[in-house]
Amino acid sequence: MALPGECVSTGAAPPYEGAAAEICQSAAGYYVGYLDLDGQPYSRESDYYADRDELDRLWLVDCVMWRGWRSVVHPEVAGFWREDEHPNAPDDGPQGLYDIFNKFPGIGFPEKEASDD
């Protein structure tokens, strides 16, 4: 858990007006975070993940392990949450995960391969 004000989701100011969270990479792995105007890391909002595509799929359905007490909305679904469902997203589109899955049917998770055990 991050300390209050340590990352944007816990009260730190965004790096600049209109900044959007994105998937970033460091030596430790991929994470959701903010970059400053020079493209340098500003804050890490999530835990680290080994696979970028897995993190993107998890972020689309808000299943990322966040450092703060609030999650960060994926840019592709920012308008799909009601204010009472997700406090940092606008209320200007279809409501809830049901509509997100209808709009983005390809976000399902890959099937595990059967083992010969």
**pLDDT for 17-32, tens place per residue?**
988 899 999 999 999 9
Domain limits, the chain: 1-72, 74-106
Q: How many residues comprise the chain? A: 117
pTM above 0.85, yes or no: no
The alpha-helical segments, DSSP class H, found in 1-117 are 52-60, 96-103
User: pLDDT tens digit string along 90-100?
Assistant: 444 434 444 44
- pLDDT for the residue 51: 95
